[in-house]
Chain A
Amino acid sequence: MMSEQLIVPTMAEMMAEGKQPEILFWVGSAGSYDDRAKKITKAFVKILNKANVNFAVLGTEESNTGDVAKRAGNEFLFQMQAVMNIEVLNVYEVKRIVTCDPHSFNCIKNEYPGLGGNYDVIHHTQYIKELMSSGRLTVEGNTYKGKRITFHDPCYLGRGNGVYDAPRDVLKKTNATLVEMKRHKGTALCCGAGGAQMFKDAEPGNKEINVLRTEDAIETQPEIIATGCPYCNTMMTDGVKFKEKESEIKVLDIAELIANA
């Protein structure tokens, strides 16, 4: 499956050919460099290729959104990154952006407009849903039929932007059995990575947040924990390892689930 060559055009190549893609795929820093997140990136590209989406990436012209700097309190660094990225995006006349990272999604969608960057930004689960409803993408296989899947809401997708249904609607298409954790949607517990926590040790306490959240998930006796954020994915994967459940429970992004369906 991995031998399939991915087709990943860049905006620069597109422009040279005088073409404009229908959507820009914002890969994000995790999706570009983190080994686990890169698998999600590739799975999503596989979906885009399969659905014949005319898309492009910025490639080496993409830079960190500045989101994590902003949450850490470094507004300067955030705005520097934002202004830089907006300049690039505006040169390419980008109208629509899709990303697998809810943090980039929230940041570009909500915080870039005030700095001159106005785009229609959607999360990859919303885009997958759109591709499915328009018939461009279909799930034929029965890989997940009857499997127990629980979805962990990313804070910046769910509470942050009120997107609760798209990921669940997509998961339902796989004929899996969707089971909800006690804390879900508006009351979902954070994985522990947000607000720049991903990049530092936690303050002293009696438990790691990702372990608590993994316990929430384990209570539903899932075969798969579905995520929609590269950071959540890392945290939940670590949590499952901590609980020594990695042989029973897989942690997969919705893009991976659909790409392999």
Chain B
Amino acid sequence: MEYLPNIIFAVILILGIGYFVRNIKKIIRNIKLGQDVDASDNKSQRWKNVAYIALGQSKMVKRPVSGFLHVIVYVGFIIINIEVLEIIIDGVFGTHRIGQQVLPEWLYGFLIGSFEILSVLVLVSVSVFWLRRNVIKIKRFLSSEMKGWPKSDGNIILYFEVVLMCLFLLMNATDTIFQNTGSGNVISQFIAPWFEGVSGGTLSVIEKTAWWLHIVGILIFLNYLYFSKHLHILLAFPNVYLGNVEPKGKFNNLDAVTAEVKLMMDPDADPYAAPAETSEDDVPAKFGASDIMDLSQVQLLNAYTCTECGRCTSECPANLTGKKLSPRKIMMDTRDRLEEVGKNIDANNGEFKDDGKQLLGDYITNEELWACTTCNACVEACPVSIDPLSIIIEMRRYLVMEQSAAPMELNNMMTNIENNGAPWPYNQMDRLNWKDEK
């Protein structure tokens, strides 16, 4: 019976981490539903991006207020989690503050002291975040796609942080031994007096409870990630690594189209030739994307990484002028559809059963797609290198090349290019007339 707490702790820990790993595997499986991507190029640029954009938060601080507060929460999150290491060791081996026993007193005091200061800073930042989301009417948090679950999701995350930070401080404040060393209790020494009349036994119970709730809370938070928009704390890193390293104006050329165009332009091609032998696994090329399987794995990772901050949407010229298009919604729709397909696969023993739905039409409308000016403002704005524009273009490609569903004016423009080599109905032979016009 002596080891009961240790065993309970180990079981909770294994369950917590196990369930999380299970869901992460699901995410990986879902992402692999997308098309393969070769990202073996530009390794040094990619690592540089991870260092500056992901670790260094260089794009976050472009908006100083939210950027600065985010850096605090981010640094706090990473550093305070060193404390989790101690909690795990204590929990498994039944020790009490193992760090205090093995580390020099000044170092342990310094570590816990900085955690305490950070936890207060995190509390302040998170409060401001809550005010920004719920009291100050910041436009990007009020868009139509942010109603309902996405709004609660954002708040739940903030409440989690508050509870975890408070438990951490409470745990320190009610730890008599820790308070008596007088080292590292920078903040908790001011909370400790609140419990002055409380007996030693009760204090110890409060301390133990806070300790347990803290670690259980962390495990719940870890597992909540999968169900929330908050996966960016993990996925931002691979996402930034795999992000675009070419000039933003450059769109990929479709290889399947190149093959056909080359054939059409080849004067030696035999128009009556039988199609080349195709191997078993040759899928007939589909141009563009109508569902998540047509998108690339990076685009699907983008969708899981998006934390719905809305910086993209707040810079989008179409959105700013009241059009339906919101780059953030493009990412949220992609993730929602991807999750729907994933659940379908889970329910059908690993096979996707056609559900008569797709990303195009059921989630993203033509109207949204045609409102895009391809200006790259959303791509530039994203702090974690998400590229909503590439998804819009893939879907336009599907609309135009598979469905001939471009707006009429664009069809006219394209017919003009085909016939006269200009988007307007002018004669090719008049192309140099400007030279002599007065």
Which residues in A have some Cβ–Cβ distance to B below 8 Å? 2, 6, 8, 10, 27, 29, 31-34, 38, 41-42, 45, 57, 59-60, 62-64, 66, 68-77, 79-81, 83-84, 106, 109-111, 114-115, 155-156, 159-162, 186-187, 189-190, 192-209, 212-213
Contact = CB atoms under 8 A, between A and B. Distances in A.
A6 B317 CA distance: 39
B57 to A, nearest CB: 16
A77 B261 CA distance: 9
B393 interface: yes
A196 B287 CA distance: 19
Given A68-B423, A110-B246, 12 more contacts: A32-B433, A38-B434, A45-B435, A62-B431, A70-B251, A71-B393, A73-B395, A106-B249, A111-B253, A160-B248, A161-B249, A202-B321
Question: Which one of A2, A74, A206, A208 has the highest number of Cβ atoms from chain B below 10 Å of its Cβ?
Answer: A74
A196 B410 contact: yes
Interface string B348-386: 000000000000000000010011111111011100000
A64 B422 contact: yes
Given A64-B417, A73-B401, A111-B250, A195 B424 contact: no
Question: Which one of A66, A109, A159, A212 has the highest number of Cβ atoms from chain B below 10 Å of its Cβ?
Answer: A159
B322 A205 contact: yes
B18 to A, nearest CB: 44
Given A159-B377, A208-B321, A212-B320, A73 B367 contact: no
Contact of A205 (B260, B323, B417, B422): B323
A79 B317 contact: no
A190 B417 contact: no
Contact of B423 (A2, A29, A80, A206): A29
A13 B398 CA distance: 43
Nearest to A61: B431
Contacts of B321: 192, 202, 205-209, 212
A83 B323 contact: no
Given A72-B414, A187-B377, A83 B265 contact: yes
Interface string B310-330: 000001011011111100000
Contacts of B426: 33
Given A77-B414, A115-B258, A206-B321, A194 B375 contact: yes
A64 B423 contact: yes
A80 B317 CA distance: 31
Contacts of A73: 288, 393, 395-401, 406
Contacts of A114: 253, 258
Contacts of A213: 317
Contacts of A66: 417
A117 to B, nearest CB: 11
A165 to B, nearest CB: 16
Nearest to A70: B251
Contacts of B137: none
A72 B377 contact: no
Interface string B416-438: 01100111101011111111011
A33 B429 CA distance: 11
Contacts of B249: 106, 110, 155-156, 159-161
Given A38-B437, A189-B320, A162 B247 contact: yes
A79 B431 contact: no
Given A72-B414, A110-B250, A160-B247, A83 B376 contact: no
B434 A42 contact: yes
B312 to A, nearest CB: 12
Contacts of B345: none
A202 B435 CA distance: 33
Interface string B166-201: 000000000000000000000000000000000000
Contacts of B380: 159, 186-187
B410 A190 contact: no
Interface string B229-259: 0000000000000000011111101100110
15 contacts: A33-B430, A59-B431, A60-B432, A72-B396, A72-B410, A73-B288, A74-B414, A106-B247, A110-B247, A110-B249, A115-B258, A159-B375, A189-B375, A201-B409, A203-B323
Nearest to B430: A33
Contacts of B412: 199
B376 to A, nearest CB: 4
A74 B432 contact: no
Given A155-B373, A161-B247, A76 B257 contact: yes
B417 A203 contact: no
